[in-house]
């Protein structure tokens, strides 16, 4: 469950490489302002998680608005809990929070609260944007590149700015993030557009997969597949993940507060 939630919160399909950040065509700029037609405060997404035929638990993503000082920011909360047989064997209640600019999508604060059986880990990171530094409760202060995101704000940044473009098949998207006291580059590969079956009917989606290589935990591209609705909301509707000999399935089972009609095709830039 820990590995699944880790993947779920880093844009639902991220492969991590501990490396120096490299600018790409979607690299955020601290001063840039991006229109947001993908989501709004009040969005709530709920997912069911299965390990093969066994029910494993639930995951959710919620957005809101939070006043910090004199300014208002988007707030995002990702949570995962185990239940059923899996919950009896491993009690998990993980929570990630991000608070990011309404105008730019860049975070100013990120929270990680991990509760897995008897294991506990809590950390808060403050992003000082004008100085390009982060302040962590656990490791103190360190420099980061301009435009650095946390894992949760990277997901919302991709929805509002990246998925709106005409992506080329097999194009790789790189985003610099700060997670677990280190800089990581999130790498996802666009695999094309296709219709997938969901409990809500057939939905046209954008499919993403892993970037394979010596540092990748996946041997084949089909070991991780993620589908985002191609309707302007760009919400993840389905994830298929191979973990060891197990096949993990994550499916959207409920949504409220979407900014755009669900499943309706769009025109992009």
Do the beta carbons of residue 122 and residue 136 sit within 8 Å? no
Q: Is the pLDDT of residue 15 over 50?
A: no
Q: Which of 40-44, 149-153, 240-244 has the lowest average pLDDT?
A: 240-244
What is the average pLDDT across 209-224? 70
pLDDT of the residue at 187: 81
Tell me how far the alpha carbon of residue 65 is from its chain's centroid: 18
pLDDT of the residue at 210: 76
14 Cβ contact list (under 8 Å, min separation 6): 7, 151, 154, 186, 187, 188
pLDDT of the residue at 94: 87
> In the chain, helix, strand, coil percent, each to 5?
10, 50, 40
Mean of the per-residue pLDDT values for the chain?
A: 83
Q: Is the dihedral of CA 3, 7, 8, 10 positive or negative?
A: positive
> 153-181 pLDDT, tens per residue?
999 999 998 888 889 999 988 888 998 88
Q: Is the pLDDT of residue 235 over 90?
A: yes
Tell me the whole-structure pTM to 2 decimals.
0.86
Q: Band the pLDDT of 26: cuts 50, 70, 90.
A: low
pLDDT of the residue at 132: 95
What is the average pLDDT across 37-61? 89
**Alpha-carbon gap, residue 148 to 9, rounded angstroms:** 16
pLDDT of the residue at 4: 45
> 114-146 pLDDT, tens per residue?
888 888 889 999 999 999 999 999 999 999 999
> 102-120 pLDDT, tens per residue?
999 999 999 999 888 888 8
Q: Which of 154, 205, 196 is nearest to 177 (CA)?
A: 154
Q: Which of 87-91, 152-156, 208-212 has the lowest average pLDDT?
A: 87-91
**Tokens 């294991």 map to which residue?**
119
pLDDT of the residue at 57: 86
Tell me how far the alpha carbon of residue 258 is from its chain's centroid: 17
pLDDT of the residue at 74: 97
């Amino acid at each position: 469950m820990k590995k699944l939630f880790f993947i779920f919160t880093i844009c639902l399909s991220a492969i991590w490489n501990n490396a120096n950040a490299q600018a790409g065509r979607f690299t955020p700029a601290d001063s840039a302002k991006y229109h947001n037609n993908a989501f709004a405060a009040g969005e709530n997404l709920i997912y069911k998680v299965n390990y093969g035929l066994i029910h494993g638990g639930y995951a959710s993503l919620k957005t809101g608005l939070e006043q910090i000082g004199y300014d208002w920011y988007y707030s995002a909360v990702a949570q995962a809990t185990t239940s059923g047989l899996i919950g009896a064997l491993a009690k998990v209640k993980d929570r990630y929070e991000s608070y990011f600019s309404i105008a730019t999508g860049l975070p100013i604060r990120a929270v990680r609260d991990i509760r897995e059986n008897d294991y506990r880990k809590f950390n808060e990171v403050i992003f000082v944007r004008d100085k390009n530094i982060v302040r962590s409760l656990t490791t103190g202060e360190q420099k980061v590149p301009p435009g650095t995101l946390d894992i949760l704000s990277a997901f919302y940044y991709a929805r509002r700015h990246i998925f709106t473009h005409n992506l080329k098949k097999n194009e790789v998207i790189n985003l610099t993030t700060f997670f677990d006291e280190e800089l990581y580059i999130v790498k996802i590969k666009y695999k094309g557009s296709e219709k997938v079956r969901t409990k809500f009917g057939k939905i046209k989606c954008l499919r993403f997969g892993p970037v394979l290589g010596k540092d990748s935990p996946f041997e084949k591209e089909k070991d991780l597949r993620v589908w985002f609705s191609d309707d302007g909301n760009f919400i993840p509707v389905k994830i298929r993940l191979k973990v060891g000999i197990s096949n993990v399935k994550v499916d959207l089972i409920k949504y409220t507060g979407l900014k755009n009609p669900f499943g309706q095709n769009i025109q992009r830039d």
